């Protein structure tokens, strides 16, 4: 089981959205998921799959309330490139 496949990181006040700590391209998500399946992993947790907001509470000093983490479905509802990369793999594996 792949416990936590992330696409990004949290945002800090004054930092660019969605991250200021680096991330990897959406294409890498597809490669990582395919590699995990190729190694026999049959349970993959995409963290966060849908971004969100934690209104009224901060997660830590200088950390914003956004919890988008460059999710496949962004905090504002947009289907990102990462979403379509995961969808391609899901549709492919569904045929088997």
The domain segmentation of the chain, as residue ranges, is 2-94
Mean pLDDT of the 92-96 span: 88
**Residue 20: is its pLDDT beyond 60?**
no
**Residue 64: is its pLDDT beyond 80?**
no
Percent of the chain exceeding pLDDT 70 equals 71
Please tell me the predicted confidence (pLDDT) of residue 23.
Answer: 67
- Cα(95)–Cα(29) distance, rounded to whole angstroms? 20
User: Whole-prediction pTM value?
Assistant: 0.76
- Cα(34)–Cα(31) distance, rounded to whole angstroms? 5
> Phi and psi for 19 in degrees, rounded to 5?
-150, 155
């Amino acid at each position: 089981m792949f416990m936590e496949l992330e696409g990004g990181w949290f945002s800090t006040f004054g930092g660019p959205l969605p991250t200021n700590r680096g991330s990897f391209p959406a294409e890498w998500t597809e490669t990582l998921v395919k590699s995990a399946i190729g190694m026999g992993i049959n349970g993959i947790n995409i963290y966060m799959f849908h971004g969100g907001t934690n209104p009224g509470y901060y997660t830590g000093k200088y950390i914003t309330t956004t919890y988008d983490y460059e999710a496949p479905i962004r905090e504002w509802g947009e289907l990102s490139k990462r979403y379509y990369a995961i969808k391609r793999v899901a549709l492919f594996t569904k045929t088997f």
